[in-house]
Amino acid sequence: MSSTATSLVQAFLASGSLPLSRSIGQVQTLLSSADYDSRDLAEFLRLDPTLAARVMAAANSAYFSRRRCGDIDDAVSRLGTVQLSRIFTQILASSTLINPLRAYGLPTHALWQRSVFTAIGAELAAGRRGDDRSAAYTIGLLHLLGMLVIDDLWIKAGSPRPLVRVDFDREWSADEFRLCGFTHAVLGEELLRQLQFPPAVCTAVGRQYEPPTVPVEHALYVGRLVQSCAYETPTLDPDSLVLREFKLTAPDQLDAFLNDVRTEAQSFMRAA
């Protein structure tokens, strides 16, 4: 297939297959601007009632706030850019990752649950080293977003069978590449770039099948690992060097960490 990752993602977005993507992209541009002003964001949200309602619901959930926000101005001014970035990431993920993926044989909500588990695992892992928890959470929650593009291509191609997951290290990447010349990781990276997410987030998503080199990639590796342990029968030989950084080399250490992630993820999904 001669199509580039950019053109495949552009076609996917143009089809309207990613709800709220245009609004989220504009929000990401606002949040990342050097002269960010919360009043500009509040005004933007007032012009988008659907997104504003989702922001208010998230802002007033038990996970994000102990005191209710009275209106959108209150929510934007009180939460700050870090929490707002998390909320907008959650809105994008929860509005798109809940549908079944026929290409992967995944039922309704399966992708959302796996993404939440990975996000919490990556965030808790980052916290163990004093790294950027928010970035790790964002990357974990969105690292499977490219699967939506693959699923759309698979349906259009009329493929006769679901893609095959091989193991933890490669997952579905071999069949993905045979289908369109790209893995979901590469398409996810391009999708996030077009939605104006920070370059470090995009790059980490695109490199999820490469040996991790920077802190957020290490955290994502741990998040993916515990998600695989929770939802698959893993056939893997974990990277002991990465696990040593997080003090997770012993089986009992990894089991305890997995239980912590499961508890936090369940709390998150109840509150979301």
Residue 2: pLDDT above 60? no
Residue 214 lies in a domain: yes
106 bridge partner residues? 101
pLDDT given at position 54: 85
Query: What CATH code is carried by the domain that includes residue 227?
Result: 1.10.3210.10
Q: Convert the pLDDT of each residue in 107-130 to its tens digit.
A: 999 999 999 999 999 999 999 999
Q: Which residue has the tokens 């999820």?
A: 208
- Average pLDDT estimate for 151-176: 94
- Confirm whether 119 is domain-assigned: yes
Residue 212 in domain: yes
Q: Mean pLDDT across the chain, nearest whole number? A: 90
What pLDDT was estimated at residue 184? 98
Q: Let me know if residue 23 belongs to a domain.
A: no
pLDDT in the model for residue 245: 92
Predicted pLDDT at 75: 85
Name the domain count of the chain. Answer: 1
**Is residue 63, in this structure, part of any structural domain at all?**
no
Q: How many helices, marked H, and strands, marked E, lie in the chain?
A: 14, 0
Please determine, for residue 271, whether its predicted confidence score (pLDDT) is greater than 90.
no
**pLDDT score of 1:** 39
Instruction: Inform me whether the pLDDT recorded for 135 exceeds 60.
Output: yes
- Domain membership of residue 88 (yes or no) is no
Tokens, residue 65: 């706030």
pLDDT tens-digit series, residues 82-108: 888 888 888 888 889 999 999 999 999
Distance CA 132, CA 155 (A): 37
Query: What is the domain extent for residue 223?
Result: 5-17+97-271
Model confidence at 234, pLDDT cuts 50, 70, 90, reads low
Task: End-to-end CA distance of the chain: give it in Å, rounded.
Answer: 39
Question: Is residue 102 within 8 Å of residue 113, measured between CB atoms?
Answer: no
User: In the numeric block, which tokens belong to residue 158?
Assistant: 């009329």
28-84: per-residue pLDDT in tens? 888 888 888 888 999 998 888 888 888 888 888 776 766 788 888 888 887 888 888
What values do phi and psi take at 101, rounded to 5?
-115, 105
* Assigned domain for 54 exists: no
Residues whose CB is less than 8 angstroms from the CB of residue 236 and which lie 6 or more positions away in sequence, other chains included: 167, 168, 169, 225, 228
Answer yes or no: is 199 within a domain.
yes
The pLDDT score that the predictor gives to residue 165 is 94
